[in-house]
């Protein structure tokens, strides 16, 4: 039983690294929109008319207040609470780890552990992003179609914005954060038999969960009566504006 699980964990780790490599290759910097007026010529009269350029989406760097709200939402909001409870239920059913036993005490230990992993990983992501002056908030795609939007959500798991123009870069904080959370758990409160391999496996699960969360943010309803709007988070994740995303 342990061998299939170990093989699956190795596959998860490889897929996570492969997805990160694809994200690096897929980063495209949107060129600045031209400020000049576009000219169109009438083939009959030969008169050239000037048409104003279409307004482009302008990146607005999030304020410290916006980043703080998003940090609290990502680390301690309803999504991590529900996710920690769901994962704790699975861990309780599989009795993993068995040292924590069953009953309310066992479930509480597993729930607290899962929530702690999320909090530690989120803290690492926001802290490193602040140090590197990166914007790791999620921005919905201004594209259409299920596949393009899903691709955007998955690649955004490894992409951040930097500078006043918000150009896209590969995000080291987003890659490191899931493993920072799992390392904290393994060497902080897990039973002593757990080690680096277990941290790698758990971190890979956390990375896939984070990517899935971005997909949810891309497609979940965020209208005026949604939970996200009641949390005062617009654009499904508190990002100031919708783009640029392409």
Q: CA torsion 83→85→90→91, rounded to 10°?
A: 110
User: What average pLDDT does this structure show over 174-196?
Assistant: 94
pLDDT at residue number 221: 56
Distance, in Å, from the CA atom of 97 to the CA atom of 142, rounded to the nearest integer, reads 43
For residue 2, being part of any structural domain is answered with: no
Pick from 71, 222, 235: which is nearest to 138 by CA?
235
Tell me, what DSSP letter sits at residue 240?
S
Distance, in Å, from the CA atom of 189 to the CA atom of 184, rounded to the nearest integer, reads 8
pLDDT at residue number 134: 93
Q: CA torsion 147→84→203→234, rounded to 10°?
A: 50
Distance, in Å, from the CA atom of 171 to the CA atom of 157, rounded to the nearest integer, reads 8
Of 53-62, 213-222, 226-235, which has the strongest mean pLDDT?
213-222
86 pLDDT higher than 60: yes
For residue 246, being part of any structural domain is answered with: no
For residue 177, being part of any structural domain is answered with: yes
User: What average pLDDT does this structure show over 16-35?
Assistant: 39
Q: Cα–Cα–Cα angle for 29, 32, 33, nearest 5°?
A: 130
pLDDT averaged over every residue in the chain: 76
For residue 172, being part of any structural domain is answered with: yes
User: What average pLDDT does this structure show over 65-84?
Assistant: 90
pLDDT at residue number 105: 95
For residue 45, being part of any structural domain is answered with: no
Q: Report the percent of the chain where pLDDT is more than 70.
A: 66
Minimum mean pLDDT among 134-138, 186-190, 235-239: which range? 235-239
Domain of 82, in residue numbers:
57-236
Distance, in Å, from the CA atom of 211 to the CA atom of 161, rounded to the nearest integer, reads 17
Calculate the alpha carbon distances from 4 to 8, 23, 53, 209 in Å: 6, 28, 58, 21
**Count of domains forming the chain:** 1
């Amino acid at each position: 039983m342990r061998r299939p699980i170990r093989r699956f964990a190795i596959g998860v780790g490889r897929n996570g690294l492969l997805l990160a490599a694809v994200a690096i290759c897929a980063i495209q910097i949107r060129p600045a929109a031209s400020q000049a007026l576009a000219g169109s010529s009438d083939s009959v009269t030969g008169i050239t008319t000037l048409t104003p350029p279409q307004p482009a989406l302008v990146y607005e760097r999030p304020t410290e207040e916006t980043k703080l709200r998003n940090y609290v939402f990502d680390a301690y909001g309803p999504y991590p609470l529900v996710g920690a409870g769901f994962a704790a239920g699975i861990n309780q059913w599989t009795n993993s780890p068995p040292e924590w036993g069953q009953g309310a005490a066992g479930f509480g230990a597993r729930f607290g552990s899962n929530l702690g992993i999320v909090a530690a990983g989120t803290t690492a992501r926001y802290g490193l992003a602040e140090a590197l002056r990166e914007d790791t908030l999620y921005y919905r795609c201004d594209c259409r179609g299920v596949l393009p939007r899903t691709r955007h959500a998955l690649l955004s798991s490894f992409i951040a914005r930097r500078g006043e123009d918000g150009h896209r870069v590969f995000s080291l904080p987003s890659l490191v954060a899931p493993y920072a959370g799992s390392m904290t758990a393994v060497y902080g409160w897990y039973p002593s038999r757990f080690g680096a391999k277990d941290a790698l496996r758990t971190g890979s699960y956390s990375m896939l969960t984070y990517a899935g969360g971005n997909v949810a943010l891309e497609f979940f309803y965020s209208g005026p009566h949604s939970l996200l709007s009641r949390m005062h988070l617009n654009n499904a994740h508190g990002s100031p504006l919708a783009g640029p995303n392409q």
